[in-house]
Amino acid sequence: MSGFLRIFVPLAILDVAVAGFILAQSLRSQAEREVQALRHSTEVAVASLSQSLAPLLRHLQSLSGESAIVDAIDSPDDGAALDQMSRAFNSLLSRNPSYAQARWIDQEGRERVRVDAGGAGRPPVRVRDPDLQAKSSRYYVRDALPLSAGTIYISELDLNVEHGGVELPPRPMLRAAIRVDARDARPAGLIVINVEGRSLLESLDQYQADQPSRRLLVNRRGDFLRGAGEADDFAFMFGRSATLAAREPELWRQMLAAEAGSAHAGNALWAWRMFSPVPNMSTNDGRNATPWFVVAWLPAEMLQPERWRAIGVTAGVGLLGLAVIGALTLRVVREKALLEKETERAERAARAKAEFLANMSHEIRTPINAIVGLTYLMSRDARDPDLRARLGKVDAAARHLLQVINDILDLSKIDAGKLVVESVAFELDQVLQGAMDMVRLPAQKKGLELVLDCSLPGHLRGDPTRLSQALINLLGNAVKFTERGWVRLRPSAWPKRTLACASGSR
């Protein structure tokens, strides 16, 4: 028994420690997934709100430039012009069922043209002139009128007010306005579109039907535009105190400090993201009466089941730990030994191939270079045009083959670790002239003049082979992409000292 205990107890302690570690990691991962899910929920809701409001901003900008609208603004007492504006508003409301009203409010804050949506399949209706209202006392009119022309203003999302009182049954409403001027730059008031707020609130749930809790919408003051229950919705419009700031003050403090985030507060997990109805625009300025906070939350009773499930799974894993660890360890050791053997065999084969190609570099390059040189000499002395054409093809093919071979052999040398940059004495003029000779024939075919412009010291130390390869590549590209004129090779010292270059050979 004592021998069994000496073996079993350490393994049992190790197993318990591993199970505890797994449980801690599982709970941490579960918490991270919950936070990520809530944050994703707010991001999707914000994207849905942005998608819902984007056409509204475009429609405002489009309306402010329509000739029917501008003509009516220029001639506010012309009944025909006002009728044209009314028809433009009518067309807009007919195409957009979420729009409740379209209005022109003049610089004194009075409605001049107003068209209301018909609702229930009925066409939009223009409000009679005697029923038009003065809106100068409404906050959104006071805030928007002083703005510059072309500025878009988004009001608070609140309940619609008619004739000084909240309309019943309550209708959530958002008002979007753009400041307009007459053609003579005279301030002409606002074009206002009223949007049914209920469609915006419903967009919070778009693409998120499986979310267990209702997403909230809160303004900058902490008022619920959409609360956990319908009793909280727009409570501030009826004089009731129901704000997120009052219910969760610590959470609200963190929300005001960061545009997006997550926190535990009040036995719930919260995530939020601030949303501005008017984004930054490149052409026109924009202003919001208040930004909104989109809030997603999970109460404690929704978090506990997942945690107990993680504890149960971890306990089962701990009970099976000893047997599984032994079996898996034996299998891993065997597979690792086999993998190492196969890897070593493959590496030996790759090294042998790379070493062979690297060692054969000079043997392969030499005959190709001879072909290139002899072809050039024959082409220079040949008088028969057909013979010169054939030699040109041979020269081009040999050069291409030499370039391919050089690239392959250099890569092979790099793989084999045998690529060495030499440091030997060489004549710079010979290297430069050799590189020029390699591209002289294609340059002549294109009618290009080759210019060697250099007076660097003739005796240098370095790697003439690598230098020649680089020069041939540069000159070849220069000739290839130059249609007429000349190609100049002008080497200079680097990095700080540039030697004066004089006119050289051509």
Over 70: is that where the pLDDT of 330 sits? no
What is the phi-psi region of residue 234: left when phi exceeds 0, alpha when psi lies from -120 to 50, beta otherwise?
Answer: left
pLDDT in tens, 464-503: 877 887 888 898 899 889 988 999 988 887 754 443 333 3
Over 80: is that where the pLDDT of 228 sits? yes
**Mean pLDDT score of the chain, rounded to an integer?**
81
CATH ID of 421-506, from 3.30.930.10, 3.30.565.10, 3.40.50.300, 3.90.1170.50? 3.30.565.10
φ, ψ at 464 (rounded to 5°)? -65, -30
Find the DSSP H helices in 66-148: 67-74, 79-95, 139-144
Q: Do residues 140 and 153 touch, judged by C-beta distance below 8 A?
A: yes
Rounded Cα–Cα distance for residues 255 and 247 (Å): 13
Which amino acid is located at 186 in the chain? Answer: R
Q: In the 8-state DSSP scheme, what is residue 146?
A: T
In 3-state terms, what secondary structure has residue 12?
helix
Place 5 in a pLDDT band, splitting at 50, 70 and 90: very low
Q: Give the pLDDT of residue 4.
A: 40
Place 357 in a pLDDT band, splitting at 50, 70 and 90: low
Shared fold status for 33-304 and 421-506: no
Q: What is the mean pLDDT of residues 334-348?
A: 82
Q: What is the mean pLDDT of residues 451-469?
A: 81
pLDDT in tens, 171-218: 899 999 999 999 999 999 999 999 998 888 888 877 665 566 678 999
Find the DSSP H helices in 360-427: 361-381, 385-416
Find the DSSP H helices in 417-500: 428-445, 464-480
Highest mean pLDDT among 40-49, 86-95, 297-306: 86-95
Rounded Cα–Cα distance for residues 150 and 147 (Å): 8
Over 70: is that where the pLDDT of 306 sits? no
CATH of domain 33-304: 3.30.450.20
Q: Do residues 213 and 298 touch, judged by C-beta distance below 8 A?
A: yes
Rounded Cα–Cα distance for residues 468 and 463 (Å): 9
Burial class (CB in 10 A: 0-12, 13-18, 19+), 166: middle
Which amino acid is located at 17 in the chain? Answer: A
Kindly state the tokens that stand for 57. 């901003």
Least confident of 184-198, 322-336, 413-427, 468-482: 322-336
Q: Greatest CA span in the chain, whole angstroms? A: 108
Q: Domains of the chain: which residue ranges?
A: 33-304, 421-506
Q: At what angle do helices 67-74 and 79-95 cross, to 10 degrees?
A: 150
| DSSP-assigned beta bridge partners for residue 459 | 427
Which amino acid is located at 77 in the chain? Answer: D
